[in-house]
A and B are shown apart, each in its own frame.
Chain A
Amino acid sequence: MTERRLPPHRLALIAAAVGGIALLATTLRWDWLPEYREAILGGLWLTLTLLVTTSVAGFLLAIPLGLVQVRGPRPLAWLARGFCTLIRGTPLLLQVWLLYYGLGSLFPYLPGVRQSWLWPYLTDPWPYAFLALTISFAGYEGEVMRGAFAGVPKGELEAARSLGMHPFTILRRIWLPRAVQRVLPTLNGELIIQLKATPLVATIAAVDAYAVFGRIRQETLMVYEPLLLMALIYLVLAGLITLAFGALERRWSRHSGEP
């Protein structure tokens, strides 16, 4: 993982970007913006909601997925390993489609589902989008957490055991915090990958930021302007994630005693 502070070449890039944007803002057509403001904000909202909820839920799933692979019990370890391998080995687009078209088309055949309060949700694309992005993140981070749990020096855990700590206390107070501390630098990159995976939900008719810009391009017949604005939005989001992690890491990893 590369250092994610702000070295000089970064500053130069940012300056170039700002200059470029200023140029584009003055030379290209932006008169369609006011009309689509609401739609863009709505799409952005869904993208952000999906990003935050799926990475939080996915990470929460990744903790047990990583833990059982390191600690057992054996059968659960195999299950977890199988799950991670499956998720990591297949395209996310396939997972999204399998859930939406596969699982989604099975529900109507279950007795009583059409009448239940769940039905309106089950016909919406976003639960499938949420589920697919969550298990995908869980699959990747499960593997990362496996490595992180395994990488916490055994002596630190033995010290805790030798003091009479309960295994659950050790997990909560020592093992998990130390493992999370170790994955923080990786997590930054993984979150940006997750951000860039969210447009796939547009393929099941969820209206995220990407889908909104697709619609704008269709309706206005403009080629570059919507794409440029979209790129800028994703770039800014990625930048914000990196900034947030920089701050987190400075708080958390400073004392890890590791290179």
Chain B
Amino acid sequence: MTTLHAAPHTAADDDAIIEIRDLRKSFGQTEVLKGISLSAHRGDVISLIGSSGSGKSTLLRCLNLLETPSAGTLRLLGEPLPFRERGGQREPADRRQLRRLRARLGMVFQGFNLWPHLTLEANVMEAPVQVLGRSRDAARAEARRLLERVGLHHLRDAYPATLSGGQQQRGAIARALAMSPEVLLFDEPTSALDPELVGEVLAVIRDLAEEGRTMLIVTHEMQFAADVANRVIFLDQGEIAAEGPPDQVFGSTRTERLTRFLGTAALT
């Protein structure tokens, strides 16, 4: 493993907002993540890049436990996350803790995943009302403010199916923001979009980065990854193959594996 910039993986990295050590994940016999260690601090914007099938989505999904890691330790927002075995399955030991932590980690999916039976505004209000117990009025006011922010205020009463992909994704970002998350996880937020719609979504994410939000972004947009991040992690076959500030990772010292990947990904 070539680590250009070794993150401080000390045992007491207390101000790390996400810290994972030696995280492994297998699906059946195939090991998809082969011992990943990384930590993210408040204000970090980390781009996760790597070829298709290298395990980027799996890593991101392990961070909010949509997938349960097969091995390794996980600290989220300063809390260690214990696991237990149940019926031969590993699972988070404390479901309530898990929900509490998830509420503080926002996730934005490649396929938007807005709820089609609710209007845009209702989509954004749903979790604050149901999870945080906000009043509908307060949640609605906040939803409108957020939709305004992502440029969708005029579409707040529209249903997702009537919106363009870019609008749906901006709506999904607003939905995640409504929980005031301390970390935002993006899994290829623009990969399902027509090329002409990519820009509007990247602009919103860039805006969030400038605000100092902590974010992990899986992306195939290399230029964007380099621009927006203070750290780039290159994942190759389930391992971190390179890690560091963008100018280092993409710079002259880039590894052979990364060069090969960038050759196929066409750095624009």
A residues near B (Cβ < 8 Å) are 153, 155-156, 158-166, 169, 173-174, 177-178, 181, 252, 254-258
Contacts and interface: CB of A to CB of B under 8 A. Distances in A.
Interface of B: 64, 66, 99-107, 109, 111, 113-117, 126-127, 130-131, 159-162, 172, 175-176, 179
Contacts of B127: 160, 163-165
B121 to A, nearest CB: 13
Contact of A158 (B66, B101, B159): B66
B116 A256 contact: yes
Main secondary structure of the interface of A (DSSP, over half): helix
B28 to A, nearest CB: 19
Nearest to B104: A164
Contacts of B113: 153, 155-156, 158-159
A162 B115 contact: no
- Select the residue from A163, A178, A257 with max chain B CB neighbours within 10 A: A163
8 contacts: A163-B127, A164-B99, A164-B101, A164-B127, A255-B162, A256-B161, A257-B161, A258-B116
Contacts of B105: 162
Given A155-B113, A257-B116, A162 B102 contact: yes
B111 A173 contact: no
A161 B105 CA distance: 11
A258 B102 CA distance: 29
Contact of A165 (B117, B131, B176): B131
Contact of B115 (A156, A164, A252, A254): A156
B211 to A, nearest CB: 20
A164 B117 contact: no
B117 A178 contact: yes
A162 B64 contact: yes
A155 B109 CA distance: 8
A164 B160 contact: no
- Select the residue from B113, B114, B117, B179 with max chain A CB neighbours within 10 A: B117
Contacts of B107: 159, 162
Given A155-B109, A177-B117, A162 B161 contact: no
Contacts of A254: 159
Given A162-B107, A257-B160, 14 more contacts: A155-B109, A158-B109, A158-B113, A159-B172, A162-B66, A162-B102, A164-B101, A164-B127, A169-B131, A177-B117, A255-B116, A255-B161, A255-B162, A258-B116
